[in-house]
Each structure stands twice: as C-alpha cells, then as structure tokens.
Amino acid sequence: MNSSLAFDAATEVPAVAARATRERIADDKAMLRAAAEMAREFALHKPAIYWGDLIASVVVGYGALFVALTAGSLALGLFAGLVSALALYRAASFIHEISHMKPGQVPGFRLGWNLLVGVPMMVPSFMYEDVHVHHHARTKYGTVEDPEYLPLALMKPWTLPLFVALAALAPIGLLIRYAVLAPLSLLIPPLRKLVIERYSGLVINPAYRRRLPEGRFRREWLAMEFGASLWAIALIAMVATGVVALNAFLIFLAVLSAATVINQVRTLVAHLWENESEAMTVTAQYLDSVNVPPPALLPALWAPVGLRYHALHHLLPSVPYHALGAAHRRISAALEPGSLYHKASHTGLPKLVTRLARSTITKR
C-alpha cells in the first residue's frame, strides 16, 4: 500500500522541461540475476502466515479500538487508540499483498480481508487492484502514468507537510465517497464516470485517471462497493439517530485518520522521489526506492507487511511479504559490498525525511 486517496489535492508538479534530464542508470546485471534467482526460490505464499497475521492484527486493532471507546481515562484512551491505529494499519496493509496475489495462492484471503478490513475501513481491495500494477510497469514507473508517484524531492517545501496533512482527512473523504457519491453516481452517469476515474483508487498522482472496470472484476467491484456504501450509510444513520454516540464515532474516525497519516508518512519515504517523469531502467527504479532493513526496529511498526523492503519488492514483486527478509539477507550476502544493491538500504525514518526535506530546498 503506497498511497492514500487523492481528492484533487492542490499539489504542484513541476514542468519536465524546466529540469535537466535525469542521468540514465544502466541495469546492474549481477543484481538482477540474483534477484531473479530469489524470485524462484521464495515464490511460495504461506496461507497460515497470511491468515495468522491478519487475524492477530484485526483482533488487536478492534480490541484496542473497543478499549479506546470505553476507556475511563484520557491516557488509556490515547494509548489504546494508538495501538488500534497501528494494528489496523498493519491489517489494512495487506491490500498491497492482495494486489499482487494470483488466484488461489492464499484461498479465501481476498474475501476474508474485505469482510474484516476493507469494508469496515472503507478501503475495499478494488481500490488498489488494477491500480498498483501500473506502479510496477517497466515503462510507467515514475512517469505521469504512474498512479503512485510524484517528484516530491523536486517540489516546493510546503508540499511535504501538505502531503501528510491531507491524509488526516481521508476517512471523511471515504465516507463522502461511499455514503454520498456512490449512491448518487448510480443515478447520474457523468458522476459515475468521475467517481470511477478520480475517486476509486489509492493514488497520490492527481493526474491519474482510472479506467472503467470490465467483466468479472466489474461485478466484484460492485459487490465490494455496495458493502462499503451500505456500511458508510448505516454508520452515518446510526450516529444521526443516536444509536452510536457522536463521541464514539469521532474516536473511530480519529483512529482511522491516525492509521492513514502513518501510512502517508511511510509513503513519504518509500521512494526518494527524484525522477521527473523520465522512463527509468529497473536498476534506476530500485535505487529510487527504499529498504529499511534490520537492525532498525521501528520500521516493523511504520512499514509493516514487508513494506520495509520496498526497494527489494520492486525487484521481486511476486515474492510474498513474509519471504522478503530472507531474500534480502541472501542477496546481500551474495553480492559484493560495492554492488548497487546495498545503496538502496537506509537506516531509518528520520534521516529519510530529512533528506527529502533538504531536497525540496536544494534541488530547486
């Protein structure tokens, strides 16, 4: 999961003509060969790990949310809310794995995830399926056709806090999308086209337009959308009639907002964001992406479900999240210290954020 819902954010994208063409980085054949070998060796998805991780995350997330809603003290409520946000964020992050799964690799997981997480959090899996694939397309990564890329390192400094702050409003935007826009769009065809193209994907590129779903995926999309809309409408109705207390509703939204902000911060450091719509080699794409491997511990919280190995994931998109750590260790040991592979590894969040912030100042 590499983004949050984009609602016409006033984000400036600098003109390509105003910058020098990014130096083309040749592919590191030894690295790509090693990665191809790892892709074959670590390709097996283990359903027990997926289900165990998801269920544990959901139990902790919703359990902590219940504590936050019923806590007798502010301190306990805040702590429980943070635990809930982190656990639900981990659970929601499985949408990224689902977008890469082939049918049957983890039986029933897509449906189970949507019932447990996608619909209740109003991010059903169709919002990432058939979208995220473009971020991995060889000729689209880092270009205007990439739904999950903006040259943030080359933009104005104020775009970074705005980029994160907008994520806090995502739960409200999702409520509007499913409780209001979805039902209305079924009656107003032009609105339906707008909703599908602009408000049906977890993207950060405001220029991206989603294509209309077709065939079986369209039917699955409609079923997921119906479930999310029914939940959103019911939630608003329960608050309006007093069945759900306003305070509880606001706490629920605050927990979801905290989860989306954490994800947006992670997205901020998932790449170096230094490409300006130029086509890139696979190695260049890898070096523009970020690994935060051990011994750092905090990435397990802010970059869960394999997201701490985001650069490696761009080399091995078919490898399941639970195998990325072993694959990283194997490739690191197989390649010489001077290999480009090691240059995508970073020590932690503070230095990455600082590097990005400095880039917005010095690269203008």
Write the pLDDT tens digit of every residue in 277-331: 888 999 999 999 999 999 988 999 999 999 999 999 999 999 999 999 999 999 9
Confidence of residue 37 (pLDDT cuts 50, 70, 90): confident
Looking at residue 2, its pLDDT comes to: 52
Residue-wise DSSP of 103-171: TTSSTTHHHHHIIIIITTTT--GGGTTTTHHHHS-TTTTTSTT-TT---GGGS-TTHHHHHHHHHTTHH
Write the pLDDT tens digit of every residue in 193-217: 999 999 999 999 999 999 999 999 9
Confidence of residue 363 (pLDDT cuts 50, 70, 90): low
Q: Is the pLDDT of residue 263 over 90?
A: yes
Confidence of residue 6 (pLDDT cuts 50, 70, 90): very low
Looking at residue 364, its pLDDT comes to: 54
47 preceded by a cis bond (ω within 30 of 0) = no
Q: Is 274 exposed, middle or buried (0-12, 13-18, 19+ CB in 10 A)?
A: middle
Write the pLDDT tens digit of every residue in 12-30: 333 333 333 344 788 888 8
In angstroms, how far is the first alpha carbon of the chain from the final one?
Answer: 29
30: which 2 tokens? 């030894």
Q: Answer for the pair 320, 102: CB distance below 8 angstroms, yes or no.
A: no
Looking at residue 5, its pLDDT comes to: 47
Q: Answer for the pair 26, 286: CB distance below 8 angstroms, yes or no.
A: no
Write the pLDDT tens digit of every residue in 87-127: 999 999 999 999 999 999 999 999 999 999 999 999 999 99
What does pTM read for this prediction?
A: 0.91
Closest CA to 44 of 101, 111, 112: 101
Closest CA to 97 of 51, 38, 64: 51
Confidence of residue 34 (pLDDT cuts 50, 70, 90): confident
Reduce the DSSP state of residue 291 to 3 states and report it.
strand
Looking at residue 14, its pLDDT comes to: 38
Q: Distance (Å, rounded) from C-alpha 87 to C-alpha 304?
A: 10
Looking at residue 8, its pLDDT comes to: 38
Question: Domain extents for the chain?
Answer: 16-20+28-362
Confidence of residue 1 (pLDDT cuts 50, 70, 90): low
| Cα 357 to Cα 149, 161, 250, 303, 345, distances in angstroms | 17, 10, 32, 20, 19
Q: Answer for the pair 210, 201: CB distance below 8 angstroms, yes or no.
A: yes
60-82 mean pLDDT: 97
125: which 2 tokens? 């899996």
Q: Where are the alpha helices (DSSP H) in 168-214?
A: 170-176, 182-185, 189-198
Q: Is the pLDDT of residue 59 over 90?
A: yes
Neighbours of 213 (CB within 10 A): 18
